[in-house]
Amino acid sequence: MPSSPLAHWQHQASAILSGLLGDWLASRGNPLAIDMQLYRHGRPLVLDDLIQDGQAPRRSLVLLVHGLTELESIWDFPGQPGTNYATALCEGLGAEPLSLRYNTGRAIPDNGRALAQQLDALVAAWPVPVENLVLIGHSMGGLLIRSACHYGEAAGYDWIRTVDSCVYLGSPHDGAWLARLAQGGAGVLQALPRDYLKAIGDVIDLRSVGIRNLNRGQITDQPEEQPPLLATARHYAICGLLGRHRANPANWLFGDALVHEDSARGHRQPGWQLTDQATLAGIDHIRLAHHPAVLAQLEDWLR
């Protein structure tokens, strides 16, 4: 974890900047661009440390993948730094809790290929054979998991055979309404005759390719391509709703504030068959990453 409040806010500011302009920063080799890195207990994963801490490495892994402009700290329960879904599940599953930090402004397909390669290296170098891998993604993180599974399977990586379950928390499989609104709004303003309105449209249009991928939930290089779910794994989706009662108009209008329920369930995805799905009313998009009700559902599915 960051060593001080100042360090935390510096990291958070870097995550927000990377989400908005991360592709631009990475293309220029800017040091503010976040590198993809696996974390264990809030620190970069070092396999040698795992062996030296005196504990036998576990054969199951739970990996948390955050969403746009987030850090791995998004998973921490309020007032409980270092306590998250992975750490809570690890004892029951006999698993090692891990998390991922990455540049959310990069294209999701590029991050998917990179994560597929990192997981292949991780499983190959793990001190004991990995038997089960559970992947849990929040928002964009769920799309990244699907992209990594697609590219990992295409490349014939060994880690694909270890994937037991993929869980998607508020992931915009059919696209995010706010991302589409930004795209449409920028286009309208840029087409207007007033120069100052065009300028506003240009500013709105200065958003990363990662954000643009959220328009339709794009996970491969081909915008219209929608690969099937990894056939050898179980797949679960959790949807949040703003209102505590399903009939609340806010749920129909905004879903969990950023993602509609149908999109979180992949309603428009061809040939999809989720193992199970749950809708949790009264839980907004951000709280899906650290809510007791979500943990209870994960425990029911995964243990």
Can you tell me which residue has the tokens 């007032």? 79
Q: From residue 156, how far is each of 122, 148, 285 by CA, in Å?
A: 15, 12, 34
Q: What is the pLDDT of residues 11-59, one digit of tens each?
A: 777 787 777 777 878 888 887 788 999 999 889 998 777 666 656 789 9
Residue 245 lies in a domain: yes
With contact defined as beta carbons under 8 Å apart, do 33 and 22 qualify? Answer: yes
Residue 290 lies in a domain: yes
pLDDT tier at 247 (50, 70, 90 boundaries)?
confident
Higher-confidence residue of 300 and 8: namely: 300
Question: Does 75 fall in a domain?
Answer: yes
Mean pLDDT value across residues 232-253: 93
Mean pLDDT of 292-300: 98
Answer whether residue 185 shows pLDDT above 70: no
User: Domain of 54?
Assistant: 5-180+206-302
What CATH number is associated with residue 295? 3.40.50.1820
Within 10 Å of residue 129's Cβ, how many Cβ atoms?
8
How many Cβ atoms sit within 10 Å of the Cβ of residue 215? 19
Q: Which two tokens stand for residue 45?
A: 């994963």
Question: Total structural domains in the chain?
Answer: 1
Tell me whether residue 188 is in a domain. Answer: no
Question: Does residue 218 form part of some domain?
Answer: yes
Q: Does residue 249 lie in a domain region? A: yes
pLDDT in tens, 87-126: 999 989 999 999 999 999 999 999 999 999 999 999 999 9
Percent of the chain scoring above 70 in pLDDT = 84
The mean of the pLDDT values for the chain is 86
218 or 195, which is more confident?
Answer: 218
pLDDT band at 5 (very low <50, low <70, confident <90, very high): low
Q: Please indicate, yes or no, if residue 133 is contained in any of the structural domains.
A: yes
Q: Which of 11-25, 162-176, 211-225 has the lowest mean pLDDT?
A: 11-25
**Is 187 among the domain residues?**
no
